[in-house]
Structure 1
Amino acid sequence: MTDEISTTSVPTEPLSTRYRGLICDLDGVVYRGAVAVEHAVETLNRTTAEGMPVVFATNNASRSPEDVGDRLRGLGVAQQGWSVVTSSQAAAAHLAQHLAQGARVCAVGGPGVAQALTEAGLTPVRVAELGDTLVEAVVQGLGVDVTWTELATVGYLAEAGVPWVATNADFTLPTPTGHAPGNGALIALVRTATSASPHVVGKPQAALFDLARARLGTDQPGTLVCGDRLDTDIEGANSAGLDSLFVLSGASRLRDLAFAERSARPTYVAADLSGLHAPGIALHATSSAAVAELEPDAVFRMPKAGDNAELLQSVVTTAWAARDAGRAVSDDGSAWARIERQLGLVPPEQATS
């Protein structure tokens, strides 16, 4: 059987012209380690020069927005037209809605956690300063110097009924030498010793996206999210009621996208951030003009030539339609790698920039 899914009319205007503001992820979208992702810097500079504001939203709670901004400027991102929001700021904003100004909050994590609490009008108290001081909440974020004593204190406070807020629940953190334990892994350690569970504000929860959209001053239909992780960026955009552009320059690959559940399916897909200035093809668009076919053995048969953007859209929508209908789609890694090569999609580990 052949699934024939493509587009009725291919749009010609750039995707960026359909939205008033962009919420953009960082790692895997703008940079990988210390190196900029190909096309990212020039795309961002063009985007802000054309008048679309950008808010970079990151789950990384350990660094301050100023530190993140310095890194972006060091890569060549223009000075104006963008800002940074972090999951620490989302945690602080959440608590500021529920606590009085100046309320004492135990801060566990990197410098960004305490700074965000201070900016929100709260009083951060480090575990080393805690003593007999009573706190009204505890915020747990990632920090490279987080100790056993600090994690134990989070557990003691949470078990005693103190509101426990976690900046994010990512189990891993990408580093130049591989994946390291993320804040989610540290949360799991605390949960083994307590019956409590934290209130999580970072992706894929809506809070960080709501904070970023408030910074942009845009409504939901006028806001686009760009990210490279289906389980945080895209699922979070959907939970916040926002359209999204999924890019294949980071953590998740084409096979992951093909097998994504409905809650983690993006509106658009592109090889990298430059797709923002291409005629974006919505992944829900269909017609009878097939460009990619799913064979009876559940393997895709690709045409020898065609527009890569349309082929990419067709592969994804065909896989989704098949899986939603209960049909098999091959998950063979080598077959998906072949499709990526044909579409000119270079895995991050093979990228030279």
Structure 2
Amino acid sequence: MSRQSRTRPAGSARRLHQAYDTALLDLDGVVYAGGRAIGHAVESLATARAGGMHLAYVTNNALRTPEAVAAHLTELGVPAGAGDVITSAQAVARLIAGQVPAGAPVLVIGGEGLRVALRERGLVPVESADEPGLAAVVQGYGGPELPWGRFAEASYAIARGVPWFASNTDLTIPGERGIGPGNGAAVEVVRIATGAEPQVAGKPLPPMHRETILRTGAERPLVVGDRLDTDIEGAFHGEVDSLLVLTGVTDAAQLLRARPEHRPTYVDLDLRGLLTGQPEVTGGPAEGFGCGGWTAAVRDGVLELGGDGEPVDGLRALCAAAWTEAGGGSCAAEAGKALARLDL
């Protein structure tokens, strides 16, 4: 089934960590939330690695350097080196370097990850919009303590015509206490002030996919993420398979409403999904879609679910019914009772 016409999650007779050579793992909401590892992540990744799968960590968060991210992962029990981490800061630095002279000054609105990535590309990070010869403005997630005045600094430069770049435009970011505003929210502040539009490098856009493939050399990659609009859409545009885990931003109701480019190849509760095969979803609109012990169908515009079994199998069946429904899953708005049965 082509990715463009996906109307149900795919099955896999092989365990995913054996079917793919490299897992391109998102971090926030997949491996950790804030400073803590997500349940089952450490053990699952260790097993996948021991089984021969290369693990690469691909994040839209441009705040920290790859060295800092790798050190954090290692502290959590997920051994990693800086070369295993690919960030949107690296992707946006490569994008900028292709458009400005070597050694050019670039105004940084964000954290140390951006500064290190710019230096890696031979560019000079600066702090003032009044820097002589300023060639670009780059904006990335700077953490909750980023001063408001930094947005003004970016706005002054952009208003004078300096090109504007953003590491990513994720509106939210998961943390230990819940979902908070991400870099996309900060980008909106500057957009409102200037009326300008940035060039964006991060997932789901091609610069991030290019950076990832260049740095990992993956031949059979599997994108693993928690966001439909970045991880899964990025896999769609990169024409690679994807696994959505329900440990971060996306919940079951949002998954049922997913547009074609937001529909993952596989769906699982958490990273234990890397260690298993994926069951086939059988059937069709007339008889209903089956997975495990569940059957899902659309009746009079309402998603219905019958049977029993593992909750995630019920969700897979519901995805098939919702995604097959004309209008791209319009019946998902009436899925409340069906989802309540699963208690995900």
Range into which the TM-score falls when normalised by the shorter chain: 0.7 to 0.9
TM-superposed CA distance for 1:326, in Å, is 7.3
Which residue of 1 is the match for residue 17 of structure 2?
Answer: 16
Does the residue aligned with 2:18 lie in a helix, a strand or coil?
Answer: helix
Displacement of 1:333: 4.0
Letter in 2 for 1:216: T
Structure 1 regions of 5+ residues with no counterpart?
346-353
1:300 pairs with 2:291: no
Partner of 1:349: none
Which deviations, in whole Å up to 9, do the C-alpha atoms of 1:138-183 show, x marking residues without a partner?
1111213433332122122222221110011122233333333322
- Inter-partner Cα distance in structure 2 for 1:113 and 1:200: 14
1:229 and 2:227 aligned:
yes
* Contact preservation (8 Å) 1:202, 1:208: yes
Decide which moves more: 114-123 or 179-188: 179-188
**Is 1:315 matched with 2:318?**
yes
Q: What residue is the counterpart of 2:112 in the other structure?
A: 111
Q: Which amino acid is 2:299 matched to? A: P
Residues of 2 paired with 1:7 and 1:63: CA distance? 34
Change (3 A) 1:324 1:277: farther
Alpha-carbon deviation of 1:244? 0.5
Q: Give per-residue Cα distances to partners, 1:225-274, cap 9 Å, x unaligned.
A: 00011111111211222210011122111111111011111111111111
Q: Looking at secondary structure, tell me which structure has more strand per residue.
A: 2
- AA aligned to 2:55 is V
- Measured after TM superposition, the shift of residue 35 of structure 1 is 2.4
Report matched runs for 1:69-84 at 5 Å.
Answer: 69-79=70-80, 83-84=84-85
* Alignment correspondent of 1:348: none
Match of 1:259 in 2: 257
Structure 2 partner of 1:95: 96
Identity %: 38
SS in 2 for 1:192: helix
Letter in 2 for 1:187: V
Partner of 1:338: 341
Residue aligning to 1:351: none
Secondary structure of 2:230's partner? helix
Q: Which residue of 1 aligns with 2:29?
A: 28
Q: Aligned residue for 1:194?
A: 194
Check conservation: 2:105, 2:131, Cα contact below 8 A: no
How far, CA to CA, are the matches of 2:101 and 2:112 in structure 1?
22
User: 1:224: how far off?
Assistant: 0.9
Q: 1:47 to 1:325 in 2, by over 3 A?
A: closer
> What is the identity, as a one-letter code, of the residue corresponding to 1:92?
A
* Alignment-derived partner of residue 350 in structure 1: none
Residues in 1 aligned to 2:46 and 2:321: alpha-carbon distance in whole angstroms = 34
The aligned counterpart of 1:211 is: 211
Correspondence for 1:246: 244
Contact persistence 2:89–2:113 (CA under 8 A)? yes
Distance 2:168 2:120 in 1: 19
Distance 1:175 1:304 in 2: 33
Change in 2 beyond 3 A, CA 1:279/1:99: same
Tell me the distance in 1 between the aligned counterparts of 2:210 and 2:46: 24
Write the distance in 2 (CA, Å) between the matches of 1:96 and 1:131. 20
Match of 1:269 in 2: 267
1:94–1:329 distance in 2 versus 1, CA, 3 Å: closer
Decide whether aligned partners of structure 1 residues 171 and 18 sit closer, same or farther in structure 2, where only a CA change above 3 A counts.
Answer: same
- Could you tell me whether the CA contact under 8 Å between 2:56 and 2:216 is conserved in 1? yes
- Separation in 1, partners of 2:50, 2:98: 35
Following TM superposition, by how much is the alpha carbon of 1:325 offset from its aligned partner in structure 2, in angstroms? Answer: 7.1
Contact 1:257 1:265 in 2 (8 A): yes
Q: 1:157 to 1:79 in 2, by over 3 A?
A: closer
Contact 1:6 1:286 in 2 (8 A): no
Aligned to 1:133: 132
Cα deviation for residue 330 of structure 1 reads 4.4
What letter matches 1:337 in structure 2? A
